[in-house]
Amino acid sequence: MSVGAHDHLEDTHGRQVRLYPGDVVAGAFGNRYATDYYEGYLPTGTVAHMLTAGGVVGQVASAHARRAEPTVLEVLGLLADPAGRPLSLDGYAMPAPAPGRPELGTYVVVGSSMGAGKTTTASALVRGWSSAGLRVGAGKVTGSGSGKDRWMYQDAGASEIVDFLDFGMPSTFGYPPQRLHATMVGIRDALVERGASVVVLEIADGLLQEETRGLAAGLAGFADGVVLAVADALSAVAGVGIMADLGTPVRAVSGLLTASPLASREAEAATGLPVLSPAELIAGGALELLSGVAVPA
């Protein structure tokens, strides 16, 4: 092992375990699509790279200019069952839950890019609803395996959390659209089956990413509301336009943009939509998105 950009690895409890040359680690082969980190694919030989701190292993094809060289791994072999068959996360996927729609609706957070504030926005929705006494289900539909987002939902007060890892995928980049759409529906259904009265789902990356755009095109009739997380006002205009073209209007704008009151006013004037910071979502904006829905006292 040659330790590079990923010098820590998450353990099952979320602790960041420091890596040293010579360490033996267990990971999962997968791809990664990260415009601000690595583009990576399944390895083809005995040398591989650490693609995420969650343990996704592949080969780096390109990297953002500010990222260090990847951590290099020597592939010692494949984990196998007692019969010698290689293990796959597919073998541990949860069974398809019964179809179900949450009483108070399904809300989906999409974004303009990585780092636009999607997870922070989704967590703010969770916090706003859970603080009002609602049983909130949260799920990450796409992305690369890591516990970071899951723990943010948990800290915000989500009662139930399900993500693509539970459906047998270490990373969703490169999976067929049908599998990803079925996973999105399955995550919602699983959260409802576990008692969630309102559900928020986060779709990774930005609307120009192929899998993200494909899922966004299937939100009509599925989502009761879409919240767009962006980093600037121009991205808000473009994102609202893309979602309109896909047949699913945006209900509100949030994300990194809201760190600037001036940029927020620009976006509000240009889109005609409410621009709500995470703090405003927590303070009441999340409940306002449920307008027209009977919210239990």
- Cα 16 to Cα 48, 176, 207: the distances in Å are 21, 32, 31
**For residue range 122-172, what is the model confidence (pLDDT) as tens digits?**
999 999 999 999 999 999 999 998 888 999 999 999 999 999 999 999 999
Nearest to 180 by CA among 222, 139, 214: 214
- 286 and 277 Cβ atoms separated by less than 8 Å: no
Q: Which of 160-169, 269-278, 287-296 has the lowest mean pLDDT?
A: 287-296
Both tokens of 137, joined, read 């289900």
- The CATH architecture annotation of domain 106-288 reads 3-Layer(aba) Sandwich (3.40)
- Per-domain residue ranges of the chain: 8-79, 106-288
3-state secondary structure 22-46: CCCCCCEECCEECCCCEEEECCCCC
Alpha-carbon distance 217 to 87, whole Å? 33
Q: Is 288 exposed, middle or buried (0-12, 13-18, 19+ CB in 10 A)?
A: middle
**For residue range 78-127, what is the model confidence (pLDDT) as tens digits?**
999 999 999 999 999 999 999 999 999 999 999 999 999 999 999 999 99
Amino acid found at 34: A
Mean pLDDT across the stretch 73-82? 94
Q: Is 262 exposed, middle or buried (0-12, 13-18, 19+ CB in 10 A)?
A: exposed
Alpha-carbon distance 143 to 139, whole Å? 11
Characterize the bridge pairing of strands 8-10 and 16-18: antiparallel
Confidence of residue 12 (pLDDT cuts 50, 70, 90): confident
Alpha-carbon distance 191 to 97, whole Å? 9
Alpha-carbon distance 261 to 233, whole Å? 11
- 3 and 71 Cβ atoms separated by less than 8 Å: yes
